[in-house]
Structure formats: C-alpha cells, structure tokens
C-alpha cells in the first residue's frame, strides 16, 4: 500500500466552523490531490498540487483552500463549513501527472468522513 | 455535467458469472481510461487501464473493451467471485492533465 495517511479519519462539525484535513505521504511523489466522494457523483477533484507551494483548482474548488508547505503534506481547509460539504474526502498522490504516457496511476488514502451539522 | 457516464448503478451477479460495467465519455481529447476498485472503508485502487490505440486489454479475469468511435468502454469480470464485490469506478483523463474525471460508480455484489 502507498504510504498515505489522512487525518482525521472521522469528524463531525457544525455549520460555519473551520475544518482542516491533513494528508501525509511517505512516497516522495510530486503530485497530490484532494477529491470528494458523493453518491451519484463518483469522485470529483477539489484541488491538486504539483509541488511545494504550487497548487491549482479542480472541478469543485469553491469553498475550499489548500496549502502545501512540504513535499509530504497537503492540507485541505474549509474556511466556513456548510452542510453541502458533508462528504468523504480522499487524498491521492501520483508520481507523474495523471494521463502521462508512462503511467497515470493515482494512489488513494483511506478517506476522511466529514459531517457538517 | 458529468463527462463520464457509468452504468449500471448497481449489479448483482452469481458466482462464476460475468459482470459487465459500461462507461461512455464525451470529450474526444480523453486518452487514458482507467478502472478503479473500491472496497468499503478503503480508498479506490487502480484495477486496469487502457489507452485508445488498442481495442481490448486483459489482465487475468479483468478485461477492458474500448470502442473509440462510439466513445464507450466497458469492464468485464469473468468468473466473478464474492471477493470481487466492491464499487467500481471508470475514469478518463486528457494528456498530461491532472483533472481525471470519474464515473458515478457501480456497486457490484457477487452472490455465492
């Protein structure tokens, strides 16, 4: 299994509170991603990072921010959580950009279940 | 707007049967089509992937069939086993693009 640790694994919070999810990798992969998984939607990309301090938006980035101060850590922050952000959040990593001619494999963590009341 | 449409939403198959999951895509720029397998409480894991220069790829009991003109691809699981019970996601991405698009998922149950 790829060395990816997500924390916390479960969190219940109230609307309007800030929440930070952490992803830590031991693989030294360049790319890191945050996805959310919702029934009927599969996995949708929130933000990704292609290096320290280098990040970009994904398909569903509104209401989320990210930071990557070290190669191994990628943080996802909900500045003011809303009920629509109740979801399971997955961190993923890849050695090269997805879709690359050599390999596009994403390695996923085990997820963080967030409930916003 | 979902760029990758997956069906069926759920599937029940008897042990030893063939499981078939279908996906259709819209963006002709997609050139990488993986399938991910997810067990309850775990993250998805790559099962098998194909590029559009071939029409079929087989790895053990798992086969991807790809129809470029129809913009469709499917996963076939031969001799399905109870251990194959999981949720399967198809996906697609463009060349060197980090925004991989996933289908909505298919929950497969293989009955013993």
pLDDT of residue A97: 75
What ranges do the domains of chain B cover? 4-111
Report the sign of the C-alpha dihedral through residues B58, B20, B1, B46, in that order. negative
Domain B4-111 has CATH 3.40.50.300: no
Q: Which of B43, B46, B103 to mutate to test the interface with A (most CBs of A within 10 A)?
A: B43
Pairing state between β B106-111 and B101-102: unpaired
Tell me what the mean pLDDT of segment A23-44 comes to: 94
Number of domains in chain A: 1
pLDDT of residue B13: 98
pLDDT of residue A101: 62
8 A C-beta contact, residue B45 and residue B36: yes
Below-70 pLDDT ranges, chain B:
1
Contact A99 B32 (CB under 8 A): yes
* Among B residues 79-98, those touching chain A with beta carbons less than 8 Å apart: 89, 91, 93-98
pLDDT of residue B97: 76
Give me the CATH number covering residue A62. Answer: 2.60.40.10
Contact A40 B104 (CB under 8 A): yes
Domain carrying residue A61: 4-116
pLDDT surpassing 70 at residue A103: no
More confident residue, B50 or A98: B50
Report the residue from B41, B45, B98 with minimal CB separation from A48. Answer: B98
């Amino acid at each position: 299994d790829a060395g990816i640790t997500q924390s916390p694994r479960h969190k219940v919070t109230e609307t309007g509170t800030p929440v930070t999810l952490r992803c830590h990798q031991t693989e030294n992969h360049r790319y890191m991603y945050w996805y959310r998984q919702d029934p009927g939607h599969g996995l949708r990309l929130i933000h990704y990072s292609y290096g320290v301090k280098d990040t970009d938006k994904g398909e569903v980035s509104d209401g989320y921010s990210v930071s990557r101060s070290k190669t191994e850590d990628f943080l996802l922050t909900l500045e003011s959580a809303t009920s629509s952000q109740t979801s399971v959040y997955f961190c993923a990593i890849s050695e090269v950009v997805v879709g690359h001619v050599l390999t596009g494999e994403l390695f996923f963590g085990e997820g963080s279940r967030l409930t916003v009341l | 707007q979902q760029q990758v449409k997956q069906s069926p939403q759920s599937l029940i198959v008897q042990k030893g049967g063939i499981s078939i999951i279908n996906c259709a895509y819209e963006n002709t720029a997609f050139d990488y089509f993986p399938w991910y397998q997810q067990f309850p409480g775990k993250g998805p894991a790559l099962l098998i992937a194909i590029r559009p220069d071939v029409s079929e790829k087989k790895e053990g009991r798992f086969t991807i069939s790809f129809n470029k003109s129809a913009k469709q691809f499917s996963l076939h699981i031969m001799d399905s086993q109870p251990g194959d019970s999981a949720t399967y996601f198809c996906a697609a991405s463009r060349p060197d693009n980090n925004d991989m698009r996933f289908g909505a998922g298919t929950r497969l149950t293989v009955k013993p």
